Amino acid sequence: MNIFLSLRLLCVVPLAVALSADTALSQHPLGSLFIIGGGHRTTEMMRRFVDLAGGPDSARIAVIPNASGDGDTSCTDMAEEFRALGVKTVFCCLLTHEEASDPRSAGMLDGATGVYFTGGDQVRVTKALVGTPVHRKLLELYQHGAVMGGTSAGAALMSKVMITGDEKLNRDTVNAFVSIRRDNVVTVEGMGFLTNVIIDQHFVKRKRHNRLISVVLEHPELVGVGIDESTAIIVRSGVFDVMGSGSVVVYDATHATAIRTDARGNLSAHGLTMHVLEAGDSYDMNAHTVRPAGESR
C-alpha cells in the first residue's frame, strides 16, 4: 500500500523517542549517501537510490521537501516519481522548526530505509531541522544503514559546512563569485552526513569553481566536491563512486602550503590538488586517492 502522509497529522500522535542530544556519526556509518548535482535525474539514477533503500518492495522512503518554495507539490511530485519505480511505501515529512523540535516528530521516521531531500533552497532545510530531534533521528538512520539522497539543494546540505549560495562582498547577482577571496562565501551548518568534505552542486554547468576554491582554502582540512548536473556520487565507507553523464571536480588543499590572504582579501595557496572525475571513477575521501574507472579496488 502506498503511504503519503503529512507530518502535521502525525505530530499529534504521542510517540516515544529516545534520542541522545549528542548523537554523532561514527567514522564508518553503515548507510550510504546518494548525492545528485541537480539537473535531469535519469531513471537509472533513481532506481539505484531505490535499490540502496532496499528495493521497490521493501523500501520505506521519506521525502523531505522543505527546500522547495511549494513543499506540498514538490513532495507529491517526488512521491509519484518513486511510485513509478514500483516503490510501495513513500511518505512526506514537511516540517516547520517548531514541529521538528518536538521529540515526538522524530518517530515519524521510524523504519525509514531511505530519505530524499528535494531541490530548492538548502537554507530552508537547515533552518527547520539542524539541531532538532528530527535531525538527530536522520543521523541515527544513516548510522544504522539507511540511504540519504538529494538533488541540488538536497546535495549541498549533505556536508557539515554548507554553502548557502550567498556572498558577503560581491553584491552583483548577475556576475556572482567572480573572485577567490576570504570571508565572501556564506556558509552555515549543514546536516552533517559528511564531515570531511564540502559539497557544491550544478558545478560545471554554473561555473562555481571560484566559490568552492574559496571555501576550501578557508577550510583546508576539508575536501571540496563539486558535482555537475545529471551526475551523482554514491558514498559508502568513506569512498564515493561517480555515476551519470557529467563530471565531479575535487579540490584538495589538505597538503597545500602557503595558504594566505593578501591585503585585498584574495586567497592564494601552493600545491592545491584538483581531480576531474567521470562515471565509474572513485575517490577515497580519507586517503585522498583516486581509482579510475575499470581499475579494481
> Of residues 62 and 173, which shows the higher confidence score?
62
pTM for the whole structure: 0.91
Enumerate the β-bridge partners of residue 163.
187
- Structure confidence by residue, pLDDT tens digits, 249-290: 999 999 999 999 999 999 999 999 999 999 999 999 999 999
Q: What is the pLDDT of residues 174-184, one digit of tens each?
A: 889 999 999 99
Report the C-alpha gap between 22 and 63 in whole angstroms: 25
Mean pLDDT of the chain: 92
Which 8-state DSSP code applies to residue 154? H
Question: What pLDDT is attached to residue 11?
Answer: 35
pLDDT tens per residue across span 8-47: 433 333 333 333 434 456 667 999 999 999 999 999 999 9
Strands 282-284 and 239-244: antiparallel
pLDDT score recorded for residue 251: 98
So what's the pLDDT on residue 9? Answer: 38
Give the separation between CA 246 and CA 202, rounded to whole angstroms: 10
- Which is more confidently placed, 296 or 132? 132
Question: Residue 173's pLDDT is what?
Answer: 80
Helix/strand/coil for 116: strand
List, in order of start, the domains of the chain with CATH numbers: 29-286 (3.40.50.880)
Per-residue pLDDT of 103-153, as tens digits, reads 999 999 999 999 999 999 999 999 999 999 999 999 999 999 999 999 999
What is the mean pLDDT of the segment spanning 240-248? Answer: 98
pLDDT of amino acid 25: 66
Sign of the Cα torsion 215, 222, 140, 152 reads: positive
Query: For the residues 72-97, what does the mean pLDDT come to?
Result: 97
CB 219 within 8 A of CB 185: no
- Tens digit of pLDDT for each residue in 194-215? 999 999 999 999 999 999 999 9
- The bridge status of strand 185-189 relative to strand 197-201 is unpaired
Q: What is the pLDDT of residue 295?
A: 80
Q: Return the H-helix or E-strand segment holding 226.
A: strand 223-227
Q: Above pLDDT 70, what percent of the chain?
A: 90
CA dihedral 131, 183, 66, 127 (to 10 degrees): 30
Do 50 and 164 touch, CB atoms closer than 8 A?
no
User: Using an 8 Å Cβ cutoff, are 60 and 112 in contact?
Assistant: yes
For residue 73, the model assigns a pLDDT of 96
Higher pLDDT, 191 or 24: 191
